[in-house]
Structure 1
Amino acid sequence: MRFVIALMRHETNTFSPIATPLSAFNRGSTAGPLYGDDAVRACQGTNSAAAAFIDLVRRQGDEFVMPLMANAVPSGMVTAQAFESMAASIVEAVGAGCDAVMLDLHGAMVAEGYPDAEGELLARIRAAAPEVPIAVSLDFHANFSAALVDNATVIAGYCTYPHVDVYETGARAARTLMAALRGEARPVLLWRTLPMLTHMLRQTPRAQPMKDIMERAMAAERDGEVLNASVFGGFPLADIPHTGLAVVIVADAARVDAGRRLLDELCGMAWERRADFVFPIEPMEESIARAKTLTQGPVVLVDHGDNCGAGGPTDEMTVLGEVLRQGLEGVVAGPFWDPGAVAELIAAGVGQSVTLDVGGKTDMPALDLKGRPLRLSGRVQCITDGNYQVTGPMFTGMKLSLGRTVVLDVAGTLVVICEKPQEPFDTGVFTHAGIDLSRRRYILIKSRQHFRAGFEPIASEIVLVAGPGVCSSDYSQFPFRNLRRPIYPLEVHTALEAA
């Protein structure tokens, strides 16, 4: 058999002011997507769904082509040119002929003109090859429209957050696809989205309220009750009509009733716990003051309002400014995105003392936030190329790049400044620059949950800090215009009636 395998991933924060062009679609040192053999080499041996697809096809002795690997850090709207280019690469490969398609997608990509970019991609594939089976691996934060579901044959989603089961998710989707190709199963997709915006800090299947919902879904799949069962927390920072928590079941045609019962059960559990998916916000100053009382390090301070893993620019400096104002000692902070500051510091050179404005270059007009640089005085401690390979459990083996990176020593606080934004889900963002995290009392990073993959094992304490930004958990700040309404918790009583 001949397969088409492709990877196209982006989580779009529609409130982010940073557009996402084609050049942004590679998290490594190369600008833009990879194609053909280069795409295969970049994916194989990594914790990705595409790697699982590649391994399975090779074990079967079949053929495959990989027209595209395109993976961008979450940010604002994907440009029309970027989407058209990537979609054309995949559709052209499918049009050349294949027995099946396996796609490693995110599920929350919004492109100019397409609120459900993945649904548009699948519709184009279906138009090019009406009968071809399509298996799709999706992120836990996918949002669902009918176009995405109606044009797929199999859908499987990550069961973890942080996402450490990406390879296994690809394997789950591929196994069902292969069973269908062999005539051993007839997949039927059942799905539902609920009128609720969950807070990303309350979504993780590692803890309640999601924990036993996800465990029930995983058990149903494992025990053969259904072919696949996935619960999606959804990406709430996308102002589109189909945002919300979703459940997708792949049932065998011979056991559709069992799939419908499971769908009702999982949706009922989630809706009954809707209030538990709301995150209570502690004022930033209080969180930092509380952290100052902790004596055993390293204490991980997590600024979740400006996280590029959810579309933030990572140049919002308010939390670092407050950390310095309150006098926390032994801090390493970053990485902060500021290419201009990086250039200035490199020009000064290692060992030189410099005073400059860092960050605050990005206005966030959707939330009426103005960028405010932070003036820092320090010594250039280290300059690197920013390249590192992930050693932790999330996207293990992937080669990532911060671009040129500088460590600035500000009276003992190490500030890491980079050319390319990257959520710190792996300690490599610091260790590649020779920073010994065990010797730091505080580690200040911008993240939500993914940091737990690499940093939770070394943390004595974790303190969540509600800094400002387009990733805030305070939904009252966001001018939602395109959500289906009513929706919980924005409209509590009318959402109950709609449900």
Structure 2
Amino acid sequence: MRIAVGGFMHESNTFSRSAADLDRFREGSLTYGAALVPVWREAHHEVGGFLEGAETYGFDVVPLAMAWATPSGPVADALFEHVSDALVTGVRMAQPDGVLVALHGAMVTPTYPDADAEILRRLRAAVGPNVPIAASLDFHGNVSPQMAETANVLVGYQTYPHVDQRARGRLAAQLLARAVKGEVKPVVHVAKPPLILNLLGQDTAREPMALLMRMAREAERAPQVLSVSVMAGFPYADVPEMGPSVIVVADGDRAKAKAVADELAAAMWNVREQLNVPCPTPAEAVARAVASQQHPVLLVDLGDNIGGGSAGDGTVLLAELMKQRAKGFIVALYAPEAVRVAKAVGVGGVLDGPLGGTDGMHGPPVTVRGVVRSLHEGKWVETEARHGGRRQNDQGHAAVLDLGDGSLVVLTSLRTPPFSLGQLTSLGIDPRGASAIVVKAAVAYKAAYAPIAGEVIEVDTPGLTAINPARFTYTRIRRPMYPLDVS
């Protein structure tokens, strides 16, 4: 039994002007053929789960290609064609018994608003109607019925932060192997309630999302039900399929798959109001942090959530911390030009000038004066299960700037989501000693940062990933859509 394994993953924020091109994927991960195996084999990622599944379920792996990039604006059409061609050409040459492919579910290109469905369509055309295809999907995938019509198996992550990726990859591998052997005949149904879930409500440890997850696990115990995936969707994509969904894979029973999916989608609709989470303003949040005795306080910069495609150089909370004379804080900013200046002045030198705010959407540039404490290559290895599942990490050349009073600004050359404490500890920083840490995320940081947090304050900051969907102008999504259209 020969199974082709590959992937093409990107979370595309259509409100961003920063396209994901070849350079962005090279900064992330772009491997072809056998080269993908050592990169992903040990990772807490679904591709690692696919590869583990080869031993567990007895199939030979035919590696195709694997492409991943930090979320940003839409994927460039040329890059999409390049990677898609690598996958399709690979399966045509391999003529496998089945295909395992890691997709995100919220990838957009200028030509294809539902790019993941287009990849599945091309793979299906390449292998024909009888070769099973199984795809893993990110919890934030904007899943379309077209995906269900093309793939035999769709399996989504069921944790946010995403710490179950490898396990979900193993499940996809198991179901595909069983389909190839003729043990099951999987069919898929996708139900989509008409609502937008803000990212805080998507936290799978927070009610009522936790309730929906318990209902999904219970539904999987029913006869003929092979897998149930509650999907939160990605609200920063202005595309027709934007929004949450429920995916059910059943053994040959389409009516059963539809009934289970529709029941869970109705349950999600019924708790829609509780899935919205209010947040304080930046001034209110920083005042609370300064007064808090539970250190470190995590200030969650929702509007500059790098994992959702934002700039990573938002200054709103840095400016407010400085305005309120906070001490002992840590802020990381994407600032490649400032890193170059820091390297030029050297350790012990003074950096005096503006930082951040390059796109005008996440606050204006903030002028700081600090001493360059250290310079770094910016790479580290994460050994624990963390959101995103990556083992090899790279924030680019980095500099640590000391502002005095124990406050530090970390300057990076690559946009780096705060998914691992290694981003700080690899620079010689002990995050436990900070009074406050700004994390440019929504929920994904929790797997790494929650264990050390004294208090967590989620902040309603402006930007490409603002928590309130009313801040955005949607022109292509389905309407009516809660909470934008409230009767």
Q: TM-score, normalised by structure 1?
A: 0.94
Distance 1:392 1:27, change over 3 A: farther
Q: Where does 1:255-266 land on structure 2 (aligned, <5 Å)?
A: 255-266=253-264
Corresponding residue of 1:445: 439
How far apart are residue 222 of structure 1 and its match? 5.0
Question: Partner amino acid for 2:107?
Answer: M
Give the corresponding residue for 1:309: 307
Separation in 1, partners of 2:107, 2:389: 23
| Counterpart selection for 1:55 from 28, 52, 55 | 52
Q: Secondary structure at the match of 1:66?
A: strand
2:430 to 409, 431, 436: 436
Tell me if structure 2 keeps the 8 A contact 1:45–1:397. Answer: no
1:213 and 2:212 correspond = yes
Task: Determine the structure 1 residue equivalent to 2:16.
Answer: 16
**Secondary structure at 1:467's aligned position in 2?**
coil
> What CA RMSD, in Å, does the superposition of the two structures yield over aligned residues?
1.5
* Residue 80 of structure 2, aligned match among 72, 79, 83: 83
Q: How does 1:305-454 map to 2 (within 5 A)?
A: 305-334=303-332, 336-363=333-360, 369=361, 372-394=364-386, 395-396=388-389, 398-411=391-404, 412-454=406-448
Aligned to 1:2: 2
Q: Is the 8 A contact 2:371 2:403 kept in 1?
A: yes
- 1:178, CA displacement in angstroms? 1.4
Distance 1:285 1:18 in 2: 29
Q: Measure, in 2, the Cα distance between the counterparts of 1:477 and 1:257.
A: 39
Partners in 2 of 1:222 and 1:435 — Cα distance?
Answer: 46
Tell me the equivalent position of 2:132.
133
Alpha-carbon distance change, 397 to 120 in structure 1, aligned in 2, over 3 angstroms: closer
Give the residue type in structure 2 aligned to 1:6: G
1:257 CA drift (Å): 4.2
Runs (5+) with no aligned partner, structure 1: 364-368, 494-499
Q: Work out the CA distance in 2 between the residues paired with 1:234 and 1:397.
A: 21
Cα distance in structure 1, aligned partners of 2:397 and 2:216: 43
Q: For residue 119 of structure 1, what is the aligned residue in structure 2?
A: 117
8 A contact 1:315–1:337 mirrored in 2: yes
- Deviations along 1:424-466, one digit per CA (max 9) or x if unpaired, are 0110110000001121111112110011000000001111122
Residue 196 of structure 2: aligned partner: 197
Q: Is the 8 A contact 1:111 1:117 kept in 2?
A: yes
Distance in 1, Cα, partners of 2:310 & 2:190: 30
Moved more, 223-232 or 441-450: 223-232
Query: What residue in structure 1 maps to residue 150 of structure 2?
Result: 151
Structure 2 counterparts to residues 68-107 of structure 1, below 5 A: 68-96=65-93, 97-107=95-105
Report the 3-state secondary structure (helix = DSSP H, G, I; strand = E; otherwise coil) of the residue aligned with 2:220.
helix
Whether 1:481 and 2:475 are equivalent positions in the alignment is yes
Q: Aligned to 2:303, what secondary structure does the other structure show?
A: coil
Question: Separation in 2 of the partners of 1:454 and 1:144?
Answer: 28
Q: Is the 8 A contact 1:316 1:371 kept in 2?
A: yes
TM-superposed deviation, 1:205: 1.6
Contact between 1:391 and 1:426, CA under 8 Å: does it hold in 2? Answer: no
**2:231 aligned partner, one-letter code:** F
- Aligned equivalent of 2:485: 491
Render the CA deviation track for 1:311-364: whole Å, top value 9, x for unaligned: 101111111110111111111111x1111111011111011112021111224x
* Structure 2 partner of 1:497: none
Cα distance, 1:224 vs structure 2: 5.0
**Matched ranges for 1:239-258 at <5 A:** 239-253=238-252, 255-258=253-256
Closer, same or farther: CA 113–205 of 1 in aligned 2, 3 Å: same
- 1:352–1:380: 8 Å Cα contact kept in structure 2? yes
CA 1:462 to 1:93, structure 2 compared with 1: closer, same or farther past 3 Å?
Answer: same
Describe the SS at the equivalent of 1:208: coil
Letter in 1 for 2:443: Q
Equivalent residue for 1:36, pick from 9, 33, 36 = 33
* Inter-CA distance 281–301: structure 2 relative to 1 (3 Å threshold): closer
Aligned to 2:63: 66
Contact 1:288 1:465 in 2 (8 A): no
The range that moved more, 133-142 or 170-179, is: 170-179
What is the Cα deviation at residue 145 of structure 1?
A: 2.0
**Structure 1 position 162 matched with structure 2 position 161:** yes
Shift of 1:179: 1.4
Distance, in Å, in 1 between the alignment partners of 2:363 and 2:34 is 42
Which region of structure 1 is more displaced relative to structure 2, 124-133 or 215-224? 215-224
Equivalent pairs counted in the alignment come to 483
How far apart are residue 392 of structure 1 and its match? Answer: 3.5
- Amino acid of the structure 2 residue aligned with 1:57: A
Counterpart contact for 1:27–1:400, Cα < 8 Å = no
SS of residue paired to 2:31 = coil
Q: Secondary structure at the match of 2:264?
A: helix
Contact 2:331 2:409 in 1 (8 A): yes
Deviation per residue, 1:93-146 (Å, 9 max, x gap): 111111110011111000120001110001011111122211011010010223
Q: Are 2:140 and 2:234, in contact at CA under 8 Å, matched by a contact in 1?
A: yes
Q: Contact 2:316–2:362 (CA<8 Å) still a contact in 1?
A: no
| Deviation (angstroms), 1:261 | 3.0
Question: TM-score scaled by structure 2?
Answer: 0.96
* Distance in 2 of aligned mates of 1:59 and 1:189: 24
Counterpart code for 2:258: R
Equivalent residues of 2:57, 2:174 under 8 A apart: no
Kindly state the Cα deviation for residue 59 of structure 1 after the two structures are TM-superposed.
4.2
Cα offsets for 1:34-84 (capped at 9, x unmatched): 112221110001111111111222445532222212111110011001100
1:37 is paired with a residue whose SS is helix
Gaps of 5+ in 2: none
| 3-state SS of 1:391 partner | coil
